[in-house]
Structure 1
Amino acid sequence: MARKRAREADGQIDPTVDKMDHDGDDSSDSDDDMEMVNVDFELFNYDSQIDFHGVKTLLRQLFDTDAQLFELSALSDLIVEQNTIGSTCKVDDKANDAYAFLTVLNAHEHRAKMPVAQLIEYLSDKAKSTNDPKLAAAVPELLADTSGKVVVGLVLAERLLNMPAEVIPPMWGMMIDEIEAAVEDKEPYEFTHYLVVSRAYHEVQSSISQEERKQKKAKAAGDDSKLYFFHPEDEEMRKHAVAAGAYSFTKDSESSADSKRAFQEMGVRPRGFMMLIEARRFEGAVKAIGDYVGGALST
């Protein structure tokens, strides 16, 4: 059995394995007045009586301006009802809202349900708009397959922007264990592929002034600027993907980047990002992000 299935009744996991302390640098100058605060992050099973609103809020962040295209309430219900796969990450108590969540949905098993049908249509369309021809060809075909020989796991993950990277590897590692346990129990989680839905962004020049608007319009169509990741581990995970690519949000507007400048000269234009990973490489991808996060923290 997976560790989370063996949790105590209050839903907390073994603190010696999955409880993480997050604090600042212990070193400090006597001149500094900065106070270091220790925060304990804990992972929990989904609880339909508690987690609906927290998951819905994070889904709204994940899909950004396109969130209005989905029935997020129905999608949130589906996620929290699937309480043996995936985790929420919280502070202090199970009853609090999630700071992060991770789950995987069986696209074949749930394809007739409205929220999954919406996701299939949306991701199939967006895959065609990426600059990766493999992604454009493979995703629509795989998601359209109804034979049962191809089973795609739709991986949804999001967290608050200021969450520490340490919370990520335990969430992914635990989900691997839970999927293995579910397959042993003959539950429908034996996937052939995983489609990870995430977010990225480009930095763009602010278009507040008329002069900058003119300069922006004069540029050639298409954005070839560097792609950055809201989830840094995505840069490592995509190395294990069959295909990966970014796409523009349907409801994106020119003013959205200015509204997300975060007190800097450059604006932030969010993009959707997806990675297609074969099941045989998924565990390796999860291990790689654990190594990546650990290495990043030690530098």
Structure 2
Amino acid sequence: MDMVNVDFEWFDPQPDVDFHGLKTLLRQLFDIDAQLFDLSALADLILSQPLLGSTVKVDGNETDPYAFLTVLNLSTHKDKPVIQQLTQYLSKQATKRGGDIAKVLPQLLAPENDAQVGLILTERFINMPHEIVPPMYTMLQEEIQWALEEKEPYNFTHYLILSKTYSEVESSLRTDDQPASKKKKGGGGVEPETFYFHPEDEVLHRHAVAWSNFEYETPVDAGASDSKRAFQEMGVSSKGHIILLEADKFAGAVDAVKEFLNGAQ
């Protein structure tokens, strides 16, 4: 096996060069529901706070990011249409899922609520090493602390992390040596196993108030899962994922993520 050495560099978001790269990563994060949001406005909003959040690049500051992480104050930006879209969307998904997430998140995101919810948006190309994640979270913590010392509006009560998961589904394609499988009779009702695009999500769950998968709203055709084949025999069905943490649990959650990812092989 050939090994390729790559040097990763961390940068502040760059308004002059990162717009298109951020849009690409946001489109990947929101998957098939990306069309529901004004991603240009969302990228502009991220770039309007260049001292908060970070990008990861490999060929210098003037190139497109391979990963990013940032936080947006949903209360401060509540009058912006794209934040209204996001808030309504996330509240709707939580309500549809039921359970603990439905009990707490819609109430927190209600316009009349005084909670300061920081929406953490983070995405990376699928082949990026997980070791890039702990430094991004560490820098975010430091930047929030610096912003608070400057009396800026980042005194969050909660953090809401938007992410993605997937499940494997039986392929609808047939190979030369594999006949089409018959549909199973009966059964049903058992949720397929969840896999994580971001392995740190499972660690964050342990510190969360609530978390949940959710189905995307945009309809897909029957062969969509086969366009994301993880293995030869299986297709991939993506889902949205949300994790809600109280602010006083955030530091402990980040420490656990560092320990897990830096120790994972």
Q: TM tier, shorter chain? A: over 0.9
Residue 171 of structure 1, CA deviation: 0.3
Residue 223 of structure 1, CA deviation: 5.5
Q: RMSD of aligned C-alpha atoms?
A: 1.7
Choose from 227, 250, 259 the match for 1:291: 259
Partner of 2:225: 257
Choose from 155, 162, 168 the match for 1:203: 168
Task: Letter of the 1:154 partner, please give it.
Answer: L
Task: Letter of the 1:278 partner, please give it.
Answer: E
Matched residues, percent identical?
Answer: 50
Query: What is the correspondence of 1:200-279 to structure 2 with a 5 Å cutoff?
Result: 200-208=165-173, 212=181, 215=183, 224-253=191-220, 254-279=222-247
Query: What is the correspondence of 1:5-154 to structure 2 with a 5 Å cutoff?
Result: 34-130=1-97, 133-148=99-114, 150-154=115-119
Contact 1:47 1:81 in 2 (8 A): no
In the TM superposition, what whole-angstrom CA distance separates every residue of 1:31-89 from its partner, at most 9, and x where no partner exists? xxx44221110110111110000000000000100000001111011011111111000
Task: Letter of the 1:165 partner, please give it.
Answer: H
Task: Letter of the 1:36 partner, please give it.
Answer: M
Partner of 1:170: 135
Partner of 1:191: 156
CA distance in 1, matches of 2:58, 2:42: 24
Query: Is residue 2:149 matched to residue 1:181?
Result: no
- The answer for unaligned runs of 5 or more in structure 1 is 1-33
CA distance in 2, matches of 1:104, 1:72: 15
TM-score (norm 2): 0.93
Task: Letter of the 2:18 partner, please give it.
Answer: D
Aligned length: 260
Question: Which is further off, 139-148 or 227-236?
Answer: 139-148
Residue 115 of structure 1, CA deviation: 1.0
In the TM superposition, what whole-angstrom CA distance separates every residue of 1:155-197 from its partner, at most 9, and x where no partner exists? 1000000000110000001101111111111101000000000
Contact 1:108 1:146 in 2 (8 A): no
- The answer for unaligned runs of 5 or more in structure 2 is none
Choose from 118, 124, 135 the match for 1:159: 124
